[in-house]
A = this chain, B = another copy of it.
């Protein structure tokens, strides 16, 4: 659509926290320019354009269909994602949509055939696939360094629970938080066939009151017999705990937590002490957002969409729903992601 020399003109829908991250990322990119920012809360859109360029509008549809817009980044509330993706497909505009596609698999399935038939890329914002450390681990697994993957271990703990207002509408831990880990799992083991989940209520009465879990342990099994173990918690004293470990017959590859500084100390209390983990996803995945955008831009320019797409977004939701059933009913749930 555009040559490398011509920056891709981006319409950003949503100017909240994650929208601002995307705006800054577009601004820093040599291959993209922020053309328009849409938000019904116009002051938010205006604040973003004052920092990163472009024009502000309250009308997402106008932004998506504008002639001077080449591609769309959707960072609005989850409930709007399906309609906005549909509008992008209508307008023939490539779209990078934040996860999840929707909390309701029926709505996702309603869009599925059109997404599959689309002539433009539909990219899903699963940021972890773009983290340089996780991506390097993935590359080395794919290269055969550990032989065929046997066991994958994902630890993901948030630093602190979201506010109650968010918990209420989050769709529950599996669809809101574990969904990232389901996608990470499928990055390594696309063909998950069984989901066994245990939901935990360990510390938060508020979360329990909303019939949600504040922690979880999920075991997936792949068609090839691989296991994936996911450990989640809604809190973690040392920060955002994000670890990945892949084991095969030839060895194990792992990525531990990231700290802002490499300074270590030795004192009477500890012979070797490092910094806390980076606080949360904005810090931990800062570099991932750039890589995610660049990957999308490659697809916009006609290259292959190598990152997660609509089907990946759907599959993660299917696994999340299966985990919910498994945890509630105390049984392994078998899934067929190709169905």
Residue among A157, A260, A269 with most chain B CB within 10 A: A269
Is the interface on chain A under 10, 10 to 19, 20 to 34, or 35 or more residues?
A: 35 or more
Using CB atoms, name the residue of chain B closest to A276.
Answer: B271
Interface residues of A in 271-319 (CB under 8 A from B): 271-277
Contacts of A151 in B (CB 8 A): 200, 202, 215, 217, 231, 233
Interface residues of A in 228-256 (CB under 8 A from B): 229, 231, 233, 235-239, 241, 247, 249-256
Contacts of A163 in B (CB 8 A): none
Using CB atoms, name the residue of chain B closest to A153.
Answer: B231
Question: What's the Cα separation between A225 and B203 when bound, in Å?
Answer: 9
Q: Annotate A140-158 by CB proximity to B: 1 below 8 A, 0 otherwise.
A: 1000011000110101010
Question: What's the Cα separation between A241 and B271 when bound, in Å?
Answer: 9
Asked whether any CB of chain B lies closer than 8 Å to the CB of A6, the reply is no
Do residues A201 and B225 form an inter-chain contact, with CB atoms below 8 A?
A: yes
Measured CB to CB, the closest approach of chain B to A134, in angstroms, equals 9
Do residues A251 and B225 form an inter-chain contact, with CB atoms below 8 A?
A: no
Question: What's the Cα separation between A231 and B217 when bound, in Å?
Answer: 12
Do residues A227 and B217 form an inter-chain contact, with CB atoms below 8 A?
A: yes
A202-B150, A229-B217, A332-B331 known; A237+B256 contact, CB < 8 A: no
Asked whether any CB of chain B lies closer than 8 Å to the CB of A209, the reply is no
Do residues A251 and B239 form an inter-chain contact, with CB atoms below 8 A?
A: no
Given A238-B270, A253-B265, A254-B263, 9 new contacts (CB under 8 A): A151-B217, A201-B225, A215-B227, A229-B229, A251-B265, A254-B266, A267-B276, A273-B274, A330-B332
